[in-house]
Structure 1
Amino acid sequence: MTLPRATTPPLRRRDIAFDFGARIPVHWLDGHCHRTRFYDAMSIMFPEGERAFIESVQHYRDRIGVDASLQRTVAEFVAQEALHSREHVRYNRHLQAHGAPVERLERWVAGQQAFARRYLAPAARLAITVCLEHFTAMFAEQMLRDPRTLEGAHPSMADIWLWHALEETEHKAVAFDVLDAAIAGAFRRYALRTSAMLFVTPIFFTLLWRMTFQLIRHDGRAADLRGWATLLRERLVGSGSLVRMFPQWCAWFRPGFHPLRHDSRALIERYSARYDARGKRARRKANADS
């Protein structure tokens, strides 16, 4: 049974500046090059991607009607995504300061977004945003549910990933609800989102693994078969995170699918107290300094 919109968790602006001090090791995830660089590749993808998410949703703000609840939720979605973009820019500058080829890889992502802005209609870009929000929500849930995904991580790096995962889980239905409100016709909406998912999936994973490979090659570890085996086993074998995501990916193609059918409220409650408190302390400090 679909959860009513009233049960959608409130979105909070947790304006936290994370610590990317020089003491963070290059391979911050338990000293493992390949596992670390998989996350670093995702971080490099985020700032351009999140700017595109904001643009595609903002384009339809005047078409979602007088639903004050959805309008407020969209405003909070935009605020959360802007903070994610800011912190991942800082994360990526930290990577660059330690020699990673960040600017070159950022150009790959920017090129894809420039192509989409030039050649794709706003409705197609919104559908792509909805699909990518589903991907980030799936990744986020695996991270929040399974402590092993960040086992051995430097605390500062685990911190930013858990914060980001919490907020992606909170707002996983927002772009979907905008699509529902702004695009007329149930069949058109279904065709848009399912065709977009088939289009986006190979592009997203090809870019992610290509960027992961480039970072690992930069570290001189491209021929480290044991490192690759560890990463692939963690992601693709048995109960690996990408394997666990597959049922949720398949669920996307059900005609009655809605993100809130998959109830994540317990996960949100588990992590929100920790980051709500951090956000409140940051606001108090900012107010005291102003």
Structure 2
Amino acid sequence: MGEAVVASARPSIRLGLKENWRQFSLLVLINAFVGGMVGIERTVVPLIGAKEFHIESTTLITSFIINFGVIKALANLVSGQLADTWGRKRVLVVGWLLALPVPFMIIGAPHWEWVMAANVLLGASQGFAWSMTVIMKVDLIGPKGRGLAVGLNEFAGYFAVGLTAFLTGYLASRYGLRPIPIYLGIFYAAAGLILSILVVRARGLKLGDYLFPSRLHASPHLSTRQYARIVHRWVASIGLDDSAYGTHSIRCTKAALIYRRTKNLRAVQLLLGHTKLESTVRYLGIEVDDALEMAEQTEV
């Protein structure tokens, strides 16, 4: 087998909702937990400021929304870059780690500044976790399903915001502002973190990765020999003589058929990846007779 050592086979990359519905649904659920964390603060936090800390200024009470929005915007700004360098799953886990102390800080807050600090952590958590659930969904179903991924993500998140706001409001009216209504936040943060660590599968793709990786340690990408073996297996699987087909012959035949049907030499050049048009002309074997035939078929 040579010096190259055969690595363990990597799972093939299959895009689509049908192929990845389990992981996709899991990410929808996780984003619902992300939205639920916001729902708790939208209902309970202003009441805590007014009734327990006796803050009379409405502007001061609602200033936590401004802090949340600014921090979340900054987290959104850097989350994409971090996803490419650290990986999607790691950024998602970091988002939930930031959210974990939030409900405990609100429950035990001795003064309003603790609540504001908790809200800063929540904003950073939202920026990382919410963004990663969107990106990871697009990774699963492909760019053509971006609209569906974003739509379901927003639906799950904001539905959870509304539902949690209703539940915390009901619990606050029955049991007080703290700690019972905030227990939902502990559940959301713990469940989101555990699922993100143990159940979510990262695609493991980065900007410099190859879409078709090699099974050999010595080569990062699929070699021409490996590709040729795959083509021969495909040809044999449909009952044809694999010795009559090869990667080069199939490529050449495809380019020739496109040229014959369209007569668009520039398009064929782009598909073949040729830098010079003369290379495409020689590759296709275009002769003077072909040019004369095209001229005869064109009326002025």
Calculate the TM-score normalised by the size of structure 1.
0.29
Higher relative contact order (CA 8 A, sep 6+): 1
Higher-Rg structure is 2
Query: When the two structures are superposed, what TM-score results if normalisation uses the length of structure 2?
Result: 0.28
